[in-house]
Amino acid sequence: MLLKKSFKEKTINSVQMGKGTVAFQGVKLNVHCFVVDGVLIDTGAKSLEKEFKSFFKYHDIDQVVITHYHEDHTGCASFVHKELQLPIYMNDIMLDYCKKKPDYPLYRKLFWGKRSPFHAEPIGTTFSSRHATWDVIETPGHAIDHLSFLNRETGQLFTGDLYCQERIKVVLREESIPTIIESLKKVLTYDFEDVFCCHAG
Ligand SMILES: [Zn+2]
């Protein structure tokens, strides 16, 4: 497979950011994972498992939270659960779906690989890390189970795939742009500082 892969890491305001990129015939896609205060936010794509594995092993992680079930955010969830024995928390809507082998279009399998089944637990409306309490904010639209996470202590907001573009090129069948806009308005009612997006970084 002529998939070109790369991985970059940087730290911004104590947030360790891992960025994996896959490129195929001029199309380039990337996905981020974040580690802060012992929390891993999202697990990257299966096609980048080798790259993300060393990132996960290198950092000190107590627990994993997932913004939504898509394969570029849950691709290495099975690895972190089985090999690193970390608990995974996500919206309960897609818990059962994640226990099974997923079905998604070929072009997504090509870029992101085939996500293995994994077990997660329901996240609730808040959670705690070493030094902080976090709000779990329901932000559907991009995916039915989409969540954003706000660290109340630092004001850092992790928004997964919550964004909309001025000129939209591709919309998934399950996506609803008006619902995304409602979710964006909802996060604006919270008091936050930095925003970490899973694709823009
Ligand atoms: Zn997504």
pLDDT of residue 123: 98
pLDDT of residue 1: 62
> Could you tell me the distance, in angstroms and rounded to a whole number, from the CA of residue 161 to the centre of ligand 1?
5
pTM of the model: 0.96
Strand order of the β-sheet with 126-128 is: 126-128, 133-138, 147-151, 157-160, 195-197
Q: Digits of tens for pLDDT over the chain (201 positions)?
A: 688 999 999 999 999 999 999 999 889 999 999 999 999 999 999 999 999 999 999 999 999 999 999 999 999 999 999 999 999 999 999 999 999 999 999 989 999 999 999 999 999 999 999 999 999 999 999 999 999 999 999 999 999 999 988 888 888 889 999 999 999 999 999 999 999 999 999
> Could you tell me the distance, in angstroms and rounded to a whole number, from the CA of residue 72 to the centre of ligand 1?
7
Query: Ligand 1 being an ion, which residues bring their Cβ within 5 A of it?
Result: 70, 161
Domains of the chain: 4-197 (3.60.15.10)
> Which residues sit opposite 36 in a β-bridge?
39
Mapping DSSP onto H, E and C, the string for 124-193 reads: CCEEECCCCEEEEEECCCCCCCCEEEEECCCCCEEEECCCCCCCCCCCCCCCCHHHHHHHHHHHCCCCCC
pLDDT of residue 165: 84
The pLDDT tens digits for 107-126 are 899 999 999 999 999 999 99
> Could you tell me the distance, in angstroms and rounded to a whole number, from the CA of residue 60 to the centre of ligand 1?
26
> Could you tell me the distance, in angstroms and rounded to a whole number, from the CA of residue 178 to the centre of ligand 1?
16
